Structure 1
Amino acid sequence: MKSFLLALACTTCVATAWPARADGDATARFHEIYTKEWAWRQAQLKGADDEDSHNKSLADHLPKVDAGIQAMRETYWADVLKQLDAVSPSQLQGDDPVNYAIYRNQIEVLLADERFHTWEMPFNSDTAFWTNLGFTARRTLRSEEDYRHYIRQLQDIPRYFDEQTANMRAGLARGFSVPRVTLTGRDQSIANVADAKGDDNLFYTPFRKMPSTIPADVQAQLRAQGRDAIRQSVIPAYAKLLDFIRNTYMKQARTTLAAEAMPDGKAFYQSQIRQFTTLDMTPDAIHALGLKEVARIRGEMDETIRDSGFNGSFPEFLHYLRTDPKFYPKTPDELLKDAAWIAKRVDGKIGNYIGRLPRDRFAIEPVSPDLAPFYTAGRGGPGVYLVNTYDLPSRPLYSLTALTLHESAPGHAFQMPLAAEHEGLPDFRRYTYISAYGEGWALYSERLGVEMDMYDTPYDRFGYLSYQMWRACRLVVDTGIHHKGWTREQAQAYMRDNTALSEHEIETEVDRYIAWPAQALSYYLGELAIVDARTKAEKALGARFDLRAFHDTVLSLGSVPLPVLPQEVDKFIAGGGKSPYAKQ
């Protein structure tokens, strides 16, 4: 679950038109546009509360997110889009036609979010601005400057929360809010901070173990300042937010579920579909595709049940998987160690399937207790694979291989660092994340596990198929909820009848789809695009098809809209199926 986070921090920045170049050089004009905008965007992003921010240095503030800043953002990006309209992609050379398509998609998404005022709903059942701050608290701080900047961020939380609260009030006033049914228990993560005093507070975490390079007397001073900031700024701000969420937001949030039930809902849902899938598919077309894929995968699941030797119906097999203790870890360490073993097995195989491997390594860690109750089963990214050890009876081992392939290598903890390390790409391709591509690759990584012989038993293979079914079901459930008027219970029943997910996972996931329209569509549509591209390349190249070179080509793109992928694979075919790194 990744996204653009583009909170802005500068009230004095204004959009300015760049003068047209007399020489008519389209390439130079395009480079000038994206270089200026990207630098501006990163300056405004500094301090953002996002777990995926690539900024390595810690800002001394949190971003501004008030309505005035949002209006400035809209004006700025509308101006950038006008500048792009004046550039003809047909006049661009080399990689720039692709760069143009990718960059324009980014600007269109940013502008759509501004125009639909998505900042008035700054959280969902999965992710929230107040929990994302916790990722900063868990960062490794390495210098005295980092600690001083961190303390200033803590002191800035009251202002930041006030701006977010004002935005949420505006959303409530026009019926643009998280659905009330998904809010139960989401206030606990706020209460955990508001109620934790002194050194027990989450935000004291960086002070518990400080670098030895910082003198002892300075450490003592920083700890004292940190405690003061927590007591005077953090706890009061969280307490104030808690009162608002419990006594205002949870009581006034909308009782409808569908995105299309909100103001300008049909257009909003279609814009979210385009943002997360990068496609212009209609909800009805996506729903029909989902039903078709669910039926296809069900046939493979039935075959796997027969291979397991189980004598019984499909529902009986699901009941068996959900209730037999042998399929579940007994301790958090067992779950973590099994995940580590799977990841290490991938290390021994991956070089046969992908040529260029990332330098960055990743750790395997448990999800923090303050996030775990409503967090997904796992989450990966640069440097880390988080495994949720909360409620072990809902963490089946038969799904762990698919989960690990998706979230660690060769999925998120592999693809994202590889993009960042690709110095030949513009930064707007290295450090942004397009859900359809990133989640599509991660889901394709689960499929690749079949070829890598990672699924040792019929139960492991069924777990993989259940995960494929889960993502195909999302096409049906998301469009069912937001377009066809499905109820929460109807969506849960559909997931329960077709996947081997535990009841806890089903409830958590359905609430996520309700509160985060269209994000769930990106996974399966992205995987299908990669599978289709591979099939085309295999057919065209025949005996010359090199799987490692194909994967290098896909991964070398950074993060791209799905329509770009077949164009790049066509170039791969025309070039004889060589790896983009073949000459290096």
Structure 2
Amino acid sequence: MRKTVFLAIILILGSCKNDNDSHAFAKAEQLKISQEFNNWLEAQFQKDLARDPEMQTQMGIKTDYGKWTDISSARDLEDKELAESRLKYLTKEVEEQALEGQDLLSYRLYKREQEQKIADYDYRLYSYPVNQMHGMQSEVPAFLINMHQIASESDALAYIERLKGIQPLFEELTNNLSLRETNGILLPRFVFEKVLKDSRNVITGAPFSDFGDKSTLAADFDEKINKLDLDAQRKEELKAMADEALLQYVMPAYENLITFLTDQQQRATGEDGAWKFPKGAEFYQHALNRTTTTSMTADEIHELGLKEVERIHNEMREIMKQVKFEGTLQDFFKFMRDDDQFYYPDTDAGKKRYLSEAKTKINAMKAKLPELFHTLPEADIIVKAVEPFRESSAGKAFYQQPATDGSRPGTYYANLYDMKAMPTYQMDALAYHEGIPGHHMQIAIAQELDSIPEFRKHSFYTAYVEGWGLYSELIPKEIGFYKDPYSDFGRLAMELWRACRLVVDTGIHSKKWSREEGIEYYMANTPNAESDAIKMVERHIIMPSQATAYKVGMNKILQLRAKALDALGEDFDIKDFHDVVLTNGSLPLSILEELVDEYIENTK
């Protein structure tokens, strides 16, 4: 009997040992697959980085510091073929079922990116490389000014090489514009005047003329050189080299671009929507799917916008009661739009005050972040005015990400070109959206994550990024900010603006609204300045679908938060929820929902 029991024990222990060995082997195999997959992802990221000198600079890498990124049609085809080869590798060589956790999420996201790039190729010409928002005519000098740091003589020489490289870069740019026109895609008529003005601004001043101030690029180069630890003679030699590059390469590049655009301008029309393109309806639906990461149709987005506009109007009427305003909502809009108490003067002192107070608001919010977040960014944020050479055409506010190596902070840009477009009652919401807890929190945290591969730190899903920005306008209210009812009205005005975007973007690109009809809708339904409405409609026109991302993304984040709160009750922690949203990098909304569902189950 004892021998039987002893034998049984030996058999059981042997079985356990075999199970443990089997489990250990399986675990080791899984770790090997995971490591190989992540090594492959890193290799792909480095390959992309090696082909993108401008991204290298954004990340603080100086490998190809004197070069520009290739924008040729041949490069477009290379990108598509590379995406196809990567997709083939993912589907044929990677064992998806062997991946789990972040590895599985990385697999799904990278596969989706390759599929998206392949689908985008058919619509690669459906864009405007020069435009009033982010066209190359202004982005190239802005890149040199804001991204190209000069900490040594070699950095200065690389800057000069980039000045020289603007000429071949712009030759390729005009090729791209010509190819688009051949395929029925020509800049809208209103864009030309703005782009031509930007282009002329860049080549205004010394050394392009013997009078007036230094040109934008010459002034930037001189300022950076003056800070170097070099002898005076060498500094002057470098400045002379930059001036020569500006005259011999930059000026002809811009003059040729101006000549080309002046010619195209003669053939431009007032038809502004994407519907005018070949296969315009298909392109616009593709753009909506890409921007919102949903399958919503133009009609569904339009209707959502109309409903949201009505809801926000009703909330605004409650604020009218708080401040005892007599009249209609449109009367209140006019009061908010016209009364001088809501605007700083259009003077240097007024602009300085605006920037100073924006910094104060961001710092006040920064002190409250531990109440809302477990994870905080290490990168700092600064506030700057948009540079004069592009302020007349740029948007009212935007964010520039920090360098990943910490050499450059994140930047909240406020456009103070027209102070009547920057009411003080919107200052809070604008600072929270572009700065903290908005884009700076989301983008800086993503860049600093150690738990995800590099490609995910630099992915950009518009509905997620802009949805978070708009959601971030609301968060401060929930912890006691916006005590001034006019400031809270400003928050609602910003949300209303995004709701109207759903209506107007789809109106222009799907329902054939004119530019004037879009401007009229904004003026009738928001308190914003007419200059705001004009800029926004013109933005819709040159970036079909982009502006629909904000409200769709915000609504989804709010829906997911409500879902988590309802499911978890007292176990719901806003910090945990925000960690789920922010510590996985940028995500399609459907995948964000899956992660929130997983968080709910794990918490339960």
Q: Provide the TM-score with structure 2 as the length reference.
A: 0.87
Pair 1:573 & 2:580 matched = no
How far 1:326 moved relative to its partner? 0.5
2:551 counterpart (524, 529, 546): 524
Task: Give the structure 2 partner of residue 377 of structure 1.
Answer: 396
Distance in 2, Cα, partners of 1:328 & 1:169: 44
Q: Does 1:257 align with 2:275?
A: no
- How far off is 1:468 after superposition? 0.6
Q: Tell which deviates more after alignment, 25-34 or 267-276.
A: 25-34
Distance 1:78 1:252 in 2: 37
Aligned identity (percent) is: 31
Q: Which runs of 5+ in 1 are unaligned?
A: 1-22, 578-584
Instruction: State the distance in 2 between where 1:103 and 1:218 align.
Output: 48
**Which residue is equivalent to 1:95?**
102
TM superposition shift of 1:120: 6.2
Give the aligned partner of residue 248 of structure 2.
232
Give the secondary-structure state (helix, strand or coil) at the position aligned to 2:450: coil
User: What CA distance in whole angstroms lies between the structure 2 residues aligned with 1:148 and 1:112?
Assistant: 40
Give the CA deviation at 1:33. 4.7
- Residue 208 in 1 paired to residue 223 in 2? yes
Equivalent residue number for residue 257 of structure 2 = 241
Residue number in structure 1 paired with 2:157: 148
Q: Give distance in 2, aligned partners of 1:182 and 1:417.
A: 33
Query: Is the contact made by 1:175 and 1:254 (CA closer than 8 Å) also made in structure 2?
Result: no
Shift of 1:174: 1.7
- Corresponding residue of 1:413: 440
CA shift for structure 1 position 94: 2.0
Map residues 309-324 of structure 1 onto 2, 5 A cutoff. Answer: 309-324=324-339
- Tell me the alpha carbon deviations over residues 373-395 of structure 1, each in whole angstroms, 9 at most, x when there is no partner: 12222112332111111111221
The residue that corresponds to 2:292 in the other structure is: 277
Structure label with greater radius of gyration? 2
Partner residue, 2:507: 480
Residue 185 of structure 1: aligned partner: 194
**Pairwise CA distance, 1:518:** 0.5
Higher helix share: 2
1:79 aligns with 85
CA contact (8 A) 2:130 2:195 kept: no
What is the one-letter code of the residue matched to 2:312? I
The answer on whether the counterparts of 2:41 and 2:453 sit within 8 Å (CA) in structure 1 is no
When structure 1 is superposed on structure 2, of 164-173 and 107-116 the one drifting more is: 107-116
Query: 1:545 is matched with which residue: 572, 582, 593?
Result: 572
The one of 151, 162, 169 equivalent to 1:160 is 169
Once residues 555 and 89 of structure 2 are traced to their aligned partners in structure 1, the CA distance between those partners, rounded to angstroms, is: 34
Corresponding position of 1:367: 386
Match of 2:460 in 1: 433
Note the C-alpha offset of 1:119.
Answer: 7.3
1:460 equivalent in alignment to 2:479: no
**Separation in 2 of the partners of 1:570 and 1:293?**
26
* CA apart distance, 1:476: 1.0
How far did 1:78 drift?
2.1
Deviations 1:507-542 (A, max 9, x none): 001100011101001111111111111111111111
1:169 maps to what in 2?
A: 178
In the alignment, residue 533 of structure 1 is paired with which amino acid? Answer: L
Partner of 1:496: 523
> Which residue identity does 2:169 align to in structure 1?
Y
> In structure 1, what is the equivalent of residue 204 of structure 2?
195
Paired residue type of 2:296: M
Partner residue of 1:127 out of 131, 134, 141: 134
Partners in 2 of 1:30 and 1:500 — Cα distance?
52
Aligned equivalents of 2:151, 2:198: Cα separation in 1: 27
Instruction: Indicate if the aligned counterparts of 2:381 and 2:440 stay in contact, CA closer than 8 A.
Output: yes
Q: What secondary structure does 1:379 align onto?
A: strand
SS of residue in 1 equivalent to 2:365: helix
Whether 1:333 and 2:333 are equivalent positions in the alignment is no
Q: Does the 8 A contact of 1:30 with 1:84 survive in 2?
A: no
State whether structure 2 residue 61 is matched by structure 1 residue 45.
no
1:447 and 2:474 correspond: yes
The equivalences for 1:20-31 within 5 A come to 27=34, 30-31=37-38
The Cα shift of 1:237 comes to 0.8
AA at the equivalent of 1:273: L
Aligned pair count? 552
The DSSP-based 3-state class of the residue aligned with 2:384 is strand
TM-score normalised by structure 1 residue count: 0.90
Give yes or no for contact 1:194–1:236 (8 Å, CA) kept in 2.
no
Question: 2:281 pairs with 259, 263, 266, which one?
Answer: 266
Distance in 1 of aligned mates of 2:536 and 2:196: 18
1:306 aligns with 2:321: yes
Q: Could you tell me how far 1:254 is from its partner in structure 2? A: 4.4
Amino acid at match of 2:113: Q
Quick one: structure 1 residues 401 and 53, their matched pair in 2 at CA, closer, same or farther if it must change by over 3 Å? Answer: same
1:372 is paired with a residue whose SS is coil
